[in-house]
Amino acid sequence: MACLLITGGAGFIGSHTGVVLLDAGHDLIVLDNFSNSSLRAVERVAELAEVPLNQGAPAKEVPDLSGRLTLVEGDLRDAAGLEILFSHAARSGRPIEAVIHFAGLKAVGESVAHPLRYWDVNVTGSRTLLAAMEAHDCRTLVFSSSATLYGRPEQVPIPETAPIQPINPYGASKAAVEALLADVAGCSGLTDPVQSSPNGWRIARLRYFNPVGAHPSGRIGEDPNGIPNNLFPFVSQVAVGRRQELQVFGDDWPTPDGTGVRDYIHVMDLAEGHGAALNGLLAETPRLLTLNLGSGQGASVLDVIHAFEQASGRSVPYRFAPRREGDAAITVADPGLAYTVLGWRSRRALTDICRDGWAWQAANPHGYGETG
């Protein structure tokens, strides 16, 4: 199995993917600056995977990479820190063979208020990482992209060939990194979702839709800083009593119940999709893949509220508010290509999502901020 670097591996999707990759036999180096994540998440990943956690030094010091799971605190924009990490891994006889790249900022509203920060962290950070990878002949990358770069979709379900038309700085930063990856792979200007890479890179650009839920153990889950930006953690925090009610933005959308419809994918399905993407890249000749990861099924805001109430046995009070600027009525993936190319599809339904999400929130009402 491979030695992998996971950037942002202490975050929501990164921690769940870490469990999947450790269970598959890979060795992991987690690089995270904890700007929107928790050390406790990585500790619990070690617990779930039944491996010791080697809590390494800060990125500018030489880390101990002797274990199966090593945590290094550092920033992706720190070129010197990345050089130390890649160099030491190579000298230790365990060179980094591939990178799973989650690190970045992801709040749409915040990106509108602070666009320069988003371009710096998401784009400059990715460029710095790619430079370190190239310097050490590590040319396999799975990139955490986003369906937000589709903007207001013209076609639903949305295929990978849909126009790239982001409507906020977050989506624009993801689109910019995707363009950079195409340039690195030698595929500039090409639109086919599966391309051979003349430059010898193996890259998967995974466009997520709406990751939700939690590990079925209830030990790791989503723990956003401050007020949640997304529907599901807000619903779960209302159910557990942390917040009084939910605002539902718009009851007059052209959907069956008047509320917005989204494609919700269980975070464990998404984590397994990363494992499938990595396996697919390593097993084939160099290529650039662009794949949607979603369920292909739409659920409205009210569908989610009612399913969560049933799973939790709790009431989720809500009130309607005006539509938000930039929202779309329906956003649902066409995930068929991921099955064709990787043999991957989502397996868990909305009932599973709500059951596992409630198991996490009920056991951790204040997220990782409580002991246990």
Say if residues 359 and 216 touch (Cβ distance below 8 Å). yes
Write down the domain spans for the chain: 3-213+264-293, 231-263+297-332+348-369
Radius of gyration of the chain (CA): 20
Residue 123's contacts (CB-CB under 8 Å, 6 or more residues apart) are 173, 176, 177, 180
User: Is residue 256 packed enough to be buried (19+ CB in 10 Å), middle (13-18) or exposed (0-12)?
Assistant: exposed
Closest C-alpha among 15, 23, 85 to residue 51: 23
Marked catalytic residue, from 170, 208, 264, 368: 170
Question: Which stretches of the chain are DSSP H helices?
Answer: 12-23, 39-49, 79-91, 108-113, 115-118, 125-135, 169-185, 231-240, 267-283, 301-312, 336-342, 350-363
Per-residue pLDDT, averaged over 187-211, amounts to 96
d(CA 272, CA 188): 29
Find the distance separating the first CA and the last CA of the chain, reported in whole Å.
32
111-153 pLDDT, tens per residue? 989 999 999 999 999 999 999 999 999 999 999 999 999 998 8
Q: What is the pLDDT of residue 108?
A: 85
Provide the mean pLDDT of the chain: 95
Assigned superfamily of 3-213+264-293: NAD(P)-binding Rossmann-like Domain (3.40.50.720)
Active site (annotated) includes residue 170: yes
Closest CA relative to residue 301, chosen from 329, 259, 256: 259
| CATH tag, 231-263+297-332+348-369 | 3.90.25.10
Backbone φ and ψ for 204, nearest 5 degrees, come out as -120, 125
pLDDT 10s digits, 75-97: 999 999 999 999 999 998 999 99
pLDDT in tens, 22-44: 999 999 999 999 998 999 999 99
Distance CA 124, CA 295 (A): 31
Q: What is the pTM of this model?
A: 0.96
Residues 285-300: pLDDT tens digits? 999 999 999 999 999 9
Token pair belonging to 128: 């710095």
Rounded Cα–Cα distance for residues 238 and 101 (Å): 31
The tokens describing 200, both together, are 């010898």
Torsion of CA 199, 99, 128, 178, to 10 degrees: 60
